[in-house]
Amino acid sequence: MTSWRKGKSTSERGYGGRWQKARIAYLRLNPLCVLCQARGEVTLAQVVDHKTPHRGDPALFWDSSNWQALCATHHNVDKAMLEKSGRIKPTFGIDGWPTT
Ligand SMILES: [Zn+2]
């Protein structure tokens, strides 16, 4: 028995070309990082992120209402924090100070 993740690239899992096209189209319509915008900053988004982690669920994966445009920093820093806390709104900025 092998895991569906093990040794497979995204394209082998079937997301590949379709996802690349979908994310490029999404970033064209939503070019700015939503979390930076919420803080009054303007940063070009680089990543299409899933607000609710899809964990391999195709319905969540392809639901564009579950997508958000993020810059690389927010994708790496805030999402890791969000997934741990299970909260949508980060309480602290990346510098460690409260954002409110
Ligand atoms: Zn950002």
Check: CB of residue 29 under 8 Å from CB of residue 81: no
Cα 64 to ligand 1 centroid, rounded to whole Å: 19
Cα 6 to ligand 1 centroid, rounded to whole Å: 30
Q: What are phi and psi of 87, to 5 degrees?
A: -105, 150
Cα 33 to ligand 1 centroid, rounded to whole Å: 5
SS3 56: coil
pTM of the predicted model as reported, rounded to 2 decimal places: 0.63
Dump pLDDT digits (tens) for 19-75: 999 999 999 999 999 999 999 999 999 999 999 989 999 999 999 999 999 999 998
The domain locations on the chain are 16-85
**Which residues neighbour 31 within 8 Å (Cβ) at sequence distance 6 or greater?**
44, 45, 69
SS3 70: strand
